Amino acid sequence: MNSECRISDDIDGAQPVITATRFTLRPLSASDAGLLERYLSDTRVASMTRVIPHPLPPEYIANMLTRAADPERVEDYWAIDGSANGHAEVMGVIKMARLDRNQSELRYWVAPAFWNTGIATNAVEAILSANPQGACDIYAEVFQDNPSSARILTNAGFAYLGDAETFSVARNMVTPTWTYARKMAQP
């Protein structure tokens, strides 16, 4: 095991707020529920994820917010908050899951109103620069019918590892994916 970087186990309920030029990445809050429900109810968003169902069950957002606030969580969620720059309080969500061996998995989605604006690219760059979990390696996957997300990852320094497949709840089917990894700089 590499002793130069280590996943932080000391989450104590707090996550860092990460400031970027166009937005802030901040922990999810109960006040985000309305926008989260609006965006995640959109089949265009749900169908590009593994776990978001469509149609969205009434309890889904409350359960998501509970998981995000749980001190025992293994995933950290950040709202992409553009309110300081005149945008929505939630433009999307980016999250990192703690894996073993000082690794993390990155996942993100952006509301359709913010597609093709660079928000997802900037959010991925911001989270990688901060590396809030102290990961040595970060993994990500995208559905093969989402080449825009694949470009975001490759432009952020992720290397293509190979093809795989995973079940998409919204699609109710196994879906082909591309898997990526990025080795993080040693401190």
Give the pLDDT confidence of 17-52 residue by residue, as tens digits. Answer: 999 999 999 999 999 999 999 999 999 999 999 999
Model confidence over 72-82: pLDDT tens digits? 999 999 999 99
Question: Is the pLDDT score of 10 beyond 60?
Answer: no
Q: In this model, does residue 165 exceed pLDDT 60? A: yes
Class of the domain covering 18-135: alpha beta
pTM above 0.95, yes or no: no
- Between CA 177 and CA 135 the distance in angstroms is 23
The domain locations on the chain are 18-135
Give residue 159's pLDDT band: very low, low, confident or very high (50, 70, 90). very high
Q: What is the pLDDT of residues 79-108, one digit of tens each?
A: 999 999 999 999 999 999 999 999 999 999
The CA-atom distances, in angstroms, between 157 and each of 47, 146, 154 are 25, 18, 5
CA distances from 11 to 73, 80, 98, 134 (A): 8, 20, 11, 12
